[in-house]
Structure 1
């Protein structure tokens, strides 16, 4: 069981890195820098995010619902590391609540 949890969490966090970094490059292209290369690279990274998600062992709806929670936490981490925005206590509490929900949805036995 622990191997499944670690591999699926690894896939979820890798996918979130791809989605957030790809979206960030598209954001940079359209809102900040205007160089098309940011958009092209960002689009390719976003495409690869979609492929990585297919490696999850569950069905589409369950995977994407769970991923939503991982995305929330990853976005807070991205904001801290890249945008240098320290999360406040409510963002941290909310992230913990989301992770509890993720664990219940994806990992509790049926």
Structure 2
């Protein structure tokens, strides 16, 4: 159980880095913020790539699983940062994605 919690922590921390870094680049290019936003976003995105190497599985499995974590994290980000409340279809889709993630990465083999 500790391995699962640790792995989930890495996934959600990586999602925070990727979404946060991407958000800063978005602000730089789409909302005309300063270049510092782009540089910081790029550095944060780079650190996301490093964090993902801490997962205990091979690349394809890690990134496929991370895709599901990213979906859920993006909806949470949208709610907290952009103040966009998810509709029922986004919530249902997120639950389905998380079930898929649990089966792909955590189901005993």
Cα distance in 1 between the residues matched to 2:100 and 2:53: 21
Cα distance in 2 between the residues matched to 1:33 and 1:17: 22
Q: Deviations over 1:12-36 (max 9, x none)?
A: 0000000000000000000102310
Give the 3-state SS of the residue equivalent to 2:84 in structure 1: coil
Segment of structure 1 superposing worse, 29-38 or 47-56: 29-38
Deviating runs (4+, > 3 A) in structure 1? none
The alignment status of 1:19 with 2:18, answered yes or no, reads yes
Give the 3-state SS of the residue equivalent to 1:33 in structure 2: coil
Give the aligned partner of residue 90 of structure 2: 91
Structure 2's unaligned 5+ residue stretches are: none
Cα distance in 2 between the residues matched to 1:8 and 1:24: 24
Give the aligned partner of residue 33 of structure 1: 32
TM-score, normalised to structure 2, is 0.99
Structure 1's unaligned 5+ residue stretches are: none
Give the aligned partner of residue 77 of structure 1: 76
Query: Shift in Å at residue 106 of structure 1?
Result: 0.1
TM-score, normalised to structure 1, is 0.98
Query: How many residue pairs get matched?
Result: 109
